[in-house]
Amino acid sequence: MKTYSFTIACAPAEGGRDSDQIIDALYEAGCDDALVVERAGAFIVEFDREAATFAKAIFSAFDAICQAGLRPVRIEPDPLVSATEIAERSGLTRAAISNYVKGTRGQGFPIPVARLDTTSPLWQWTEVMRWLQGNTQAPIKIDDILLARWIDRANGVLPGVIQRFRRGRRHLC
């Protein structure tokens, strides 16, 4: 078994339970391998979960979250990253990333996908990882790229998956 680290952002279900009750319910539902933080009305549940595969870790976490009365909204880390986040995730300096973005070092850095007209555009992390792996000495592993792609795709289908599990399984949402 391998330990997978991930975060699931959750919305509280109806019922008006307070934060302490929800945190207790998460622990009772099997989230003793998670850190729970409440921010802006949402619950951020950070897992270090042992499982045979990443998918099994995610789905067992979903099951426990739903049993505790929360609704999974998305899996993190976020697929959109700023230049600062690119530097942090890749282990490269902010100056190096700035040079890649400007095209003064290397060619073909991915273009931003959001907030193009601001001073802090956002890039698709999977595209950036692939470029960094092929064009820099950043310690980007193919497994990291595949995992980021899996999270990105899972977030895209998450609403439909939750609906199917509601109909077909006893506990998951």
Q: Tell me which H or E stretch contains 145.
A: helix 142-168
- pLDDT score recorded for residue 12: 78
- pLDDT score recorded for residue 72: 87
- pLDDT score recorded for residue 173: 46
Token code pair at residue 65? 């979250």
pLDDT band at 19 (very low <50, low <70, confident <90, very high): confident
- Residues 100-115 pLDDT 10s: 999 999 899 999 999 8
- Report the C-alpha gap between 172 and 73 in whole angstroms: 13
